[in-house]
């Protein structure tokens, strides 16, 4: 994938926090920012939602047996 350079301005405290967090995670600043944007854009969240929906499809009948049919539509 082609890379595009972005220039942003943040206050020094924000810049230092970003540097520290990137270092703690063993990431470059570029990679850290990329991951934050992807998370914010919902790629990680969407994967979780899809996995949860798949789980519920597989076990829906067991939940209905255990908790009753009225819980399915709530």
More confident residue, 18 or 62: 18
Q: Is 48's pLDDT higher than 70?
A: yes
More confident residue, 44 or 36: 36
pLDDT, average across residues 13-29: 95
For the chain, the average pLDDT equals 85
Domain ranges of the chain: 11-41, 42-74
As a whole number of angstroms, the distance between CA 32 and CA 22 comes to: 6
Q: Compute the C-alpha angle 42/46/47, nearest 5°.
A: 125
pLDDT, average across residues 13-34: 95
């Amino acid at each position: 994938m082609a890379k595009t350079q972005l220039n942003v301005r943040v206050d020094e405290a924000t810049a230092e926090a970003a540097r520290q967090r990137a270092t703690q995670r063993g990431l470059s600043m570029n990679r850290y920012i990329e991951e934050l944007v992807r998370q914010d854009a919902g790629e990680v969240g969407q994967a979780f939602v899809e996995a949860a929906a798949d789980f519920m499809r597989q076990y829906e009948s067991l939940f209905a047996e255990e908790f009753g049919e009225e819980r399915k539509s709530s």
